[in-house]
Amino acid sequence: GAVVSQHPSWVICKSGTSVKIECRSLDFQATTMFWYRQFPKQSLMLMATSNEGSKATYEQGVEKDKFLINHASLTLSTLTVTSAHPEDSSFYICSARASGGSADTQYFGPGTRLTVL
């Protein structure tokens, strides 16, 4: 099946620093990638939709200036958490939909656990 990777798998940073998370589709091209945030024992909450070659679409309540998304190619999307604070500590998961694929199947990355001290 399709493989999506994320890097890093975990990161610990100091409050006020920025952290970049990469999401790559390894064996298919993804015109669209989704970024989710998941707090412990909670569901996945969609943060934004990343579109190759255009601006990301953010969900209501998600600060676009804090969570910068860049979808530079058909296989790579990055999420940068700027000026991170402890409340940003969470599990960040990306998913990708193959070009021309149906929306009912998303391929998820392994997730990045962010801890802000």
Partner 1 sequence: GQSLEQPSEVTAVEGAIVQINCTYQTSGFYGLSWYQQHDGGAPTFLSYNALDGLEETGRFSSFLSRSDSYGYLLLQELQMKDSASYFCAVRDPETGGFKTIFGAGTRLFVKA
On the question of a cis peptide bond just before residue 40, with omega within 30 degrees of 0, the verdict is no
CA distance 15 to 82: 10
Residue from 15, 17, 18, 42 binding partner 1 (CB under 8 A) = 42
Interaction residues for partner 1, span 82-101 (CB under 8 A): 93
* 10-13 and 112-116 strand pairing: parallel
Query: Is residue 104 a contact residue for partner 1 (CB under 8 A)?
Result: yes
Query: Is residue 76 a contact residue for partner 1 (CB under 8 A)?
Result: no
Look at the block and give the residue holding tokens 């990306």: 94
Q: Which is nearer to partner 1, 16 or 110 (CB)?
A: 110
Query: Is residue 35 a contact residue for partner 1 (CB under 8 A)?
Result: no
CB 36 within 8 A of CB 93: yes
Query: Is residue 103 a contact residue for partner 1 (CB under 8 A)?
Result: yes
